[in-house]
Chains A and B, each alone.
Chain A
Amino acid sequence: MSLRNTVRAFPTLLKVGFSESVAYRAELLVWVLSTTMPLIMMALWTAVARTAPVGRFGQADFVGYFLATFAVRQLISSWAAWLINWEVKQGTLSMRLLRPISPLWAYAAENIAAFPMRLVVAVPVTVLGVVLVGWQVVPRSVVGWGLFAVSILGGWLITFLANAIIGSLSLFMDSSQKLMEVYLVLFFVCSGYMYPVELFPPGLRTLIDWLPFRYQIGLPTELMTNAHGTAEALRLLAFQWGWVAVLAVGTMGVWRYGLRRFAAFGG
């Protein structure tokens, strides 16, 4: 589909996607409950920081960090890899391929459309953070909010594109779900989801800074909690969007090649 037509159809895709996310509200609640890892880590790390701060993190800092992580996780979520795997296995991808719009746009719209429902969880958690810790858990200026918003978009794009690449691999393999599970383990360890990445030892920290995981959740959380000045934030955002570009090119390549293979072998 031409970009113009895709742009014209996108609001309807979002509207229908939102209706679906509302229809699946019970499932969404279960999913939200399954993302409570930051709350568990918050209990753990505040206990560790009871006697002395860990790095720059005292007890209140950990509470603010992990509540922010919990909120950010709601906003950068994507489940495209599971969806693609399911549709390839069931053959329903064929029905999407008959339409004059790339299924990738449709998957993206379905994920983005759930955003309002996720805000319903993220906003109260953020307010709770402000009540418990103070205003330092949210950006303190318009520029800060702007940078945070850009990082959320970048974080979501990295998550979605990584999902799309791994999901597209199911066009080559019987299933790429196990691969997604491996990716998720790396995400949990390297993204700042279970502990702030600045607590990694220096050698590992350098590696973490070069990998995409930190830019999914760690960076948005850091920008939300005012961990960086504007110059450093811009430098990190440049890195994040570099990963967005790399993954976008990767997604297009794997998807197109995968579809050719899918079309060559069977639908």
Chain B
Amino acid sequence: MISVRGLRKHYKVHKRPPGLKAALRSLVHRSYSTVKAVDGISFDIRPGERVGFLGPNGAGKTTTLKVLAGLLHPSEGEVRVDGHVPRLREDAFLKKIMLVMGQKQQLLWDLPPAETFELNRAIYDVPRAQYKQTLDELVGLLELEDLIGKPTRQLSLGERMKCELAAALIHRPRVLFLDEPTIGLDVAMQATMRTFIKSYNERYGATLILTSHYMDDVAALCPRVIVIDKGLLSYDGSLEALVQRVRPEKRVVLRLAEPVDDARLAPLGKVVSHEPGMAVLQVHQEAVNATISRALASLTVTDLTVENAPLEEVMGELFAEGKARRAAAEGTP
């Protein structure tokens, strides 16, 4: 469905120090530098896959999405989406895709979302019967009945985002690019959006690429992740395997019937946190069974769970590794 080979996207940016003097100097002499937003990445995505793009701010995730959506021309490399070259922006291509950006909107600000839906029906030339069916589905699944008649400006951020997603799906895109779709939403609304996105993917077999700083989004939606850091691809595989690679340790969460001191916990593993009635231990995954046996034998355990390290921590460690590697390569501390 999506094929990317050696994609590079370099920008020439005007650099100017702050201050009036620098502003005046820039009138006659401008200095430029090249930013390597994406620096030679390759990957393939199969039809119907759900893939998460992960990376720190400025890693090149949104740039890659914009190249895939045809908004940016690659500096180098070959990109194909369902057989189309995105930069040509052919009608057939644009009718198959949609890019939803959490920080940009397509809804008409002073009109009810229903007007944007109707506009998109006309622009995408969606047959009336299909439009009605899709709209009914979207209204039902996203609970939009009371929202689509109100002016967009009167909707809350979460309500607007639900309508934004509905507007993006009126033409049933086969490829959906989602750039921070849950940014700024409360936890309940994030969960609603995730459930809906997953059901859309399963129902229509749509291919889905997601960028999000909320790891819950990625964990819930993306069996596969592609990690981009400073324009380079640093990981492509399952989320599970990534967690195993970066943090092979597991967390054993113990709920305790009586207080214990740290000295009794220390032999079991590294104590991550300890508060009355609960302790979290970090142990290597091969030692999990032994640790559980010893804990059950030596402590009064009322409940016990084994978890992976929080995804935020895993990603933080991965990005820190990348930064340290680059610093070492450049010879800086």
Contact = CB atoms under 8 A, between A and B. Distances in A.
Nearest to A90: B104
A94 to B, nearest CB: 5
B108 A20 contact: yes
Nearest to B99: A98
A223 B72 CA distance: 47
Contact of B66 (A5, A19, A24, A267): A267
Interface residues of B, number: 34
B111 A23 contact: yes
Contacts of A20: 108, 110-111
B91 A5 contact: yes
A263 B86 CA distance: 11
Given A12-B119, A23-B110, 4 more contacts: A16-B115, A20-B108, A98-B71, A98-B97
Interface string B113-128: 0011011111111000
B219 to A, nearest CB: 28
Nearest to A5: B125
B108 A100 contact: no
| A interface bracket (residues with beta carbon within 8 Å of B) | 20 to 34
B235 interface: no
Interface of A: 1-2, 5, 8-9, 11-13, 16, 19-20, 23-24, 91-92, 94-95, 97-101, 260, 263-267
11 contacts: A5-B125, A9-B122, A9-B123, A13-B123, A16-B111, A97-B70, A98-B99, A99-B94, A100-B91, A101-B123, A266-B72
B260 to A, nearest CB: 56
Contact of B87 (A92, A101, A263, A265): A263
B104 A91 contact: yes
A267 B72 contact: yes
Contacts, number: 81
B95 interface: yes
Of all A-B residue pairs in the complex, the 3 with the closest CB atoms, nearest first, are A12-B122, A23-B110, A100-B94
Interface in B40-97: 66, 69-73, 87, 89, 91, 94-95, 97
B214 interface: no
A95 B106 CA distance: 6
Given A23-B111, A264-B73, A98 B91 contact: no
Contact of B71 (A2, A11, A97): A97
A13 B122 contact: yes
B123 A99 contact: yes
Interface in B202-255: none
Contacts of A12: 118-119, 121-123
Contacts of A97: 70-71, 89
B183 to A, nearest CB: 15
B11, B69, B104, B123, most chain A CB atoms within 10 A: B123
A266 B11 contact: yes
Given A95-B104, A100-B91, A267 B71 contact: yes
A92 B104 contact: yes
Contacts of B124: 99-100
A267 B64 CA distance: 12
Nearest to A96: B106
B74 to A, nearest CB: 9
A94 B66 contact: yes
B16 to A, nearest CB: 12
A34 to B, nearest CB: 20
Nearest to A6: B123
